[in-house]
Structure formats: C-alpha cells, structure tokens
Amino acid sequence: MQSGKRNRRSDPAGARAAAEEVGQMAVITGKDERLLVGGEWVEASSESRFDVTNPATGEVVGSMPDAGPEDVEAAIDAAAAALDGWKSLPAIERARVLRRSADVIRERKDEIAAVMTAEQGKPLAEAAGEVEYAASFLEWFGGEAERVYGQVVPAVNPQNRVLVLRQPVGVVAAITPWNFPAAMMTRKFGPAMAAGCTSVVKPASATPLTAALVLRAIEDAGAPPGVVNLVTSRSSGMVAETIFGDRRVRKISFTGSTEVGKELIRLSAGQVKRLSLELGGHAPYLIFDDADLEEAVDGLIASKFRNAGQTCVCANRIYVQSGVHDAVVRLLGEKVARMVVGPGDRPGVAIGPLIDERGVDKADQHVQDAIRRGAHLVTGGGRLDDGEYARGSFYAPTVLDGVTPDMLISTEETFGPVAGVSRFETEEEAIRLANDSVYGLCAYFHTRDYARLLRVAEQLEYGIVGANTGIISAANVPFGGVKESGYGREGGAVGVDEYLDVKYVLVAGVGTP
C-alpha cells in the first residue's frame, strides 16, 4: 500500500522547539508538514504542495501536501484497516487515549495557538482559548466513551429476550472550516473516537497547519495508527466526491456554508450516508427595555466581534427596544471605537484580519449598501489598508444604526466585524423579526424579566439560545441548528449518538426450560 515516497516522515522536533516563544510569528512551522495516513506522515502521491499565508501580512507561513484522489483513498484504507481493532478496544482504553490527547494538546497550547494565529489571524489570546476549547471536547468525550450503554427491553413473549445495542457506525469523515481550525476538528473526531469509529479529517486549505499539530498531539498521546487520518487539498470538491463515493465511509460531519451543505445532502443520497451538518447562521440579538445595558452590550460585543465576526453563531441582526435604543447604540459605538485592530500576535489587539480579501469585500459591500439605503454610520465603516495594514485583510470594527430589512446586512451573514442595529417596539415584534429567517442556528436576548426570559426562549426558532449572555459554546452542551442551519448535534451527552448505530436483537427460546 505504501510507496517509498509516501513513507518519508517529517521531523516535528524542530517545530516544537521553535515554538518556545509564544506569539512570535517567526516560530511557525508548516513547511515540513505532511498528510497523516495510517500512522505515517507522508507527502501527496503527486508531491505537489500549496502555500499557507498569514492574512495579517500576506506572507507564506508554511505549506501542505495537495492531496489527490489516491491519497484520500489511502486515508480511507487506513481508517478501514484500523476500525476493527479500535472498536473492539475496551471503552475505558479509548477514554484514556482521549484524555491523554487532551493533556498533550494543553501542554502544546502555546505552539498550536501561535500557528493558528499565523494562518488564521485571530488574536493570540483567542487562539489559546480555542486550543483549550479543542482539548475540552476530547476530555468530555473520554467520559462519554465509558457511558455508551445498551438496553434490555421487557419482552412481550416470556420465552424471548430483547436487547438494544449501540455500536459504532464505522469509518467517518470530518470536513472542518477555517474559522475554528482546532476545535471544529476535535468536536467531530472526539465523539467518533469515543464511539469506536475511525476518521478521515479534511481541514480547510486556509488553516491546515493547526490541524497537523493537533493530530500530532493525538498520535503522541497513543492513538493507534489509522484511527485518525489527515488529508489536505485545495480541491474540496474532489475530496467530497471521493469520500461520498466510497461505501466504507458511513458517516460525514461537515461545518460550513448552507450552500455547500445542500450539495453534500445531494451527494449523500447515492449511498444514503449519514450526515451531521452545522451550516450557516444569521443570529438575532434582542435587547429589551428591562435589560442590564452594560451586560447586554458586553455580551453583544463578545458575540459579534469574536474572531473579527467570523463565526456562525455571532450576532448578525441586532434588535433593540425603543426605550433603550439610543443608550445601547451610544454605549456600543463607544466600546467598539476603542477596539484595537492589528496582527493577532501583537499585545492588546482585539480585532485581527479577516481570512482573505473576499471577506473584506463582503463586509464592505454590506456596510456601503446599508449606508446607501439610509443607515447611519456610528463608527468604523471602511477598509484598513494603509501603513501597517497594507499587506493584510483588515476591516475597521463597525457599528451601523437604522438598519432595515431591505439591506444586505439583514438578509446575509456578514462574517465580518460589522454590527447593524435596528429598533423594535414590542416583544411580539421582536420575536417575529428574530424568527423571520431561513436560518436557525443561534439566537440571543437580554432581559431581567423572568417570565419573559422563559417565554422568549421557548418562542425563538433556533437550536441554541443565549439568554443574558453572548457566549454559548461548551463541550458539555448540544450544539446545532434547525431549519437551513443544518441537523445533528455536536457536544453534550447526545454528541456521541451521532456516531452510533442502534441495533435491536431479539433472542428467542431462552425462557424457563
């Protein structure tokens, strides 16, 4: 199966030693990273590679193999070969591998965070927080591995016994996005490992170096060869077609756009493959008259401007009740105007670059469209492309007021540091506006009225609701959406269920002899 070319291994020792100084972009490894196939770090069969660039500077920070169909098939071969051994391993042993993996990732937090900041752009403190978040999924699902229980169901016929088994679905594929390159991986292959499945991971081509470092940690923690495999490629379509065309791959988990998710649903029909889809969001953020305004604005900023607004759960439509509207806009504008923009490795930076120029173009399109249609610019509102910003993809953190439903910002995910505020009068109007979307991933609201808190939470048509907070993600809770935001849940006690088949067994003739 393995050619001599494929067997050449990279040496991560230099990379790890070089990362001793946290946040120094010069320490970035990646030029020597490889695919991980069956426990071997290898080149693509074609030996072709692609560059990974820093969105803050435009500089090349590393490169990865550009896999072809034969490389994806080799990864599936490795996962299939490892499946029987991994799923037959006692759950407590799988749990120990997951917990050791979490420990190793935490030990290497500084290195992984520095690489993430270099290729993705988020501030170093945010990157370090994501590494901890990524480790928490492995730790959580280590516990869940030990609690995959079956059932004994009372039989109608006393001569029979009825068993319900929960067994691993088999080989799975994880397709992950660039905005959270560590946590979105562990949120997928963590529960797969816990269930007894083996995985093929395809990270976004913009952020593959983080993926390689995370999988090195998994390998060094003792995961057997082939349990988790890594393929990187600029051709996402080719990878998807190869994965969906192979009958050994029984389950695919994808985080990305709704448009791509719909295409994967079509691809899955040929072999009726199981899917988990975490797709686009267009989160409403409601602030009622009785809210704690300081708490509400801080929560809004935490939601909207984390990762420069490049999250599927960030606030996109901000609705403020008339009685506090002016005060909220004033406070929001003051706080956003003070946010420091710059390369993510610089101390004090709150807003890093967007992932690329297309992201800047979209943010600016939304801002200019809103202004043209009558919105008021409170702060920001333009590209940052002079001086230190000249080589990066930066956009000023922006607040708009007077946003109306006919504006692009009201109908599309901005995926940038732009907050557009609208006014509402009544609770009924707020619920109607919030639910008027094809998306249903996440919603937020602030109130000090306990009855309203329960009432609004129940009426919002979203898979996740944050009440009096702008931060809702954690490993121990079910994460996922409704409507065109996808289906399936990641995290929480139900997260491992996505990787298990339920089997009913009827055993006849075991009653009284």
Q: Is 420 exposed, middle or buried (0-12, 13-18, 19+ CB in 10 A)?
A: buried
Give the 3-state secondary structure of residue 2.
Answer: coil
Distance CA 400, CA 416 (A): 13
Give the strand pairing for 376-379 and 398-401. antiparallel
Residue 191, both tokens: 């529960």
Does 391 fall in a domain? yes
Cα dihedral: 244, 250, 254, 259 (round 10): 40
Q: Specify the pLDDT at position 29.
A: 43
Can you give 319-364 as a three-state secondary structure string? EEEHHHHHHHHHHHHHHHHCCCECCCCCCCCCECCCCCHHHHHHHH
Does 97 fall in a domain? yes
Give the 3-state secondary structure of residue 40.
Answer: strand
Does 342 fall in a domain? yes
Helix (H) or strand (E) holding 253: strand 249-255
Q: Specify the pLDDT at position 8.
A: 30
Cα dihedral: 339, 344, 346, 350 (round 10): 20
* Residue 234 sits in the same domain as residue 353: no
Contact 168, 194 (CB under 8 A): no
The single residue of 111, 278, 413, 490 carrying the catalytic annotation is: 278
Can you give 15-64 as a three-state secondary structure string? HHHHCCCCCCHHHCCCCCCCEEECCEEECCCCCCEEEEECCCCCCEEEEE
**Which phi and psi angles does 327 have, rounded to 5°?**
-65, -40
Helices 124-145 and 183-195, packing angle to 10 deg: 10
**Residue 312 annotated in active site:** yes
Residue 485, both tokens: 């935001």
For 133-178, give the DSSP string. Answer: HHHHHHHHHHHHHTT---EEEPPSSTT-EEEEEEEE--EEEEE--S
* Residue 196 sits in the same domain as residue 298: no
Does 4 fall in a domain? no
Does 480 fall in a domain? no
* 186 DSSP 8-state letter: H
Residue 262, both tokens: 């719909």
Residue type, 475: A
- Residue written as token pair 């649903």: 265
* Residue 159 sits in the same domain as residue 297: no
pLDDT in tens, 386-402: 999 999 999 999 999 99
* Residue 296 sits in the same domain as residue 248: no
* Residue 85 sits in the same domain as residue 217: yes
Does 289 fall in a domain? yes
* Residue 275 sits in the same domain as residue 305: no
* Residue 231 sits in the same domain as residue 307: no
The single residue of 197, 312, 314, 442 carrying the catalytic annotation is: 312
Distance CA 117, CA 121 (A): 5
Contact 218, 228 (CB under 8 A): yes
Q: Would you tell me how many other CB atoms lie within 10 Å of the CB of residue 464?
A: 23
Q: Specify the pLDDT at position 31.
A: 61
- Residue written as token pair 């979105």: 184
Distance CA 450, CA 182 (A): 37
Cα dihedral: 153, 155, 161, 165 (round 10): -30
From 324, 298, 261, select the one nearest 466 (Cα to Cα).
Answer: 298
**Residue 278 annotated in active site:** yes
- Residue written as token pair 């759950």: 91
Domain of residue 180, CATH code:
3.40.605.10
Does 482 fall in a domain? no
Helix (H) or strand (E) holding 431: helix 427-435
* pLDDT tens, the chain, 513 aa long: 333 333 333 333 333 333 333 334 444 444 679 999 999 999 999 999 999 999 999 999 999 999 999 999 999 999 999 999 999 999 999 999 999 999 999 999 999 999 999 999 999 999 999 999 999 999 999 999 999 999 999 999 999 999 999 999 999 999 999 999 999 999 999 999 999 999 999 999 999 999 999 999 999 999 999 999 999 999 999 999 999 999 999 999 999 999 999 999 999 999 999 999 999 999 999 999 999 999 999 999 999 999 999 999 999 999 999 999 999 999 999 999 999 999 999 999 999 999 999 999 999 999 999 999 999 999 999 999 999 999 999 999 999 999 999 999 999 999 999 999 999 999 999 999 999 999 999 999 999 999 999 999 999 999 999 999 999 999 999 999 999 999 999 999 999 999 999 999 999 998 777
CA angle 345, 347, 349 (to 5 degrees): 80
* Residue 245 sits in the same domain as residue 299: no
Distance CA 477, CA 10 (A): 37
* 498 DSSP 8-state letter: G
pLDDT in tens, 436-482: 999 999 999 999 999 999 999 999 999 999 999 999 999 999 999 99
Contact 144, 493 (CB under 8 A): yes
> What's the total number of domains in the chain?
2
Distance CA 98, CA 94 (A): 6
Distance CA 290, CA 433 (A): 19
Contact 66, 234 (CB under 8 A): yes
* Residue 315 sits in the same domain as residue 233: no
Cα dihedral: 11, 17, 21, 22 (round 10): 50
Distance CA 466, CA 285 (A): 9
Does 329 fall in a domain? yes
C-alpha neighbours within 13 Å on the C-beta side of residue 127: 30
* Residue 270 sits in the same domain as residue 317: no
Q: Specify the pLDDT at position 32.
A: 73
Q: What separation in angstroms does the CA of 254 have from each of 75, 79, 247, 441? A: 18, 18, 18, 14
Domain span at 300 = 283-474
* Residue 59 sits in the same domain as residue 116: yes
From 218, 278, 281, 226, select the one nearest 253 (Cα to Cα).
Answer: 278
Distance CA 80, CA 62 (A): 30
Distance CA 471, CA 512 (A): 58
Contact 312, 441 (CB under 8 A): yes
Q: Specify the pLDDT at position 20.
A: 36
pTM of the model: 0.92
* Residue 217 sits in the same domain as residue 348: no
Residue 196, both tokens: 């007894």
Domain of residue 317, CATH code:
3.40.309.10
